[in-house]
Amino acid sequence: MQYIEFVANVTASPLVTTYVPVSNCTFRITDTPVSVTGNSGAKITATRKVTHFSANAASGGPTIPAAILATNNGARLGFFNKNGHFSQLTDVSVGA
């Protein structure tokens, strides 16, 4: 099963992380262009990030549209492997 790893404040210490099953939330994944400069010049690549996240409504149905990540909120999509470690499928995204 896949989960959204949600951090309510990425600047807090310690971080408080919540893992929400994808069946209990509404989210959007966006391709974000990234410029990488190396020996052969600049290259534009894409990375996938969770840019919107909302818990499901009280009725259990999706919250549409999902809310844009609030300032300092972080989220990423992933799953737990057989050793219990969270393996990310997207890069972490932090609301601005």
pTM: 0.74
> Residue 80: its pLDDT value, please?
94
The pLDDT tens digits of the residues spanning 75-89 come to 888 999 999 999 988
Query: How many domains does one find in the chain?
Result: 1
Q: Is the pLDDT confidence value at 96 over 70?
A: no
> Residue 32: its pLDDT value, please?
73
Q: Is the peptide bond before 33 cis (omega within 30 degrees of 0)?
A: no
Domain range for 90 is 2-94
The pLDDT tens digits of the residues spanning 39-59 come to 777 777 767 888 888 888 888
Query: Do residues 34 and 44 lie in contact, with contact meaning Cβ atoms separated by under 8 Å?
Result: yes
The pLDDT tens digits of the residues spanning 23-44 come to 888 888 888 777 777 777 777 7
Residue type, 68: I
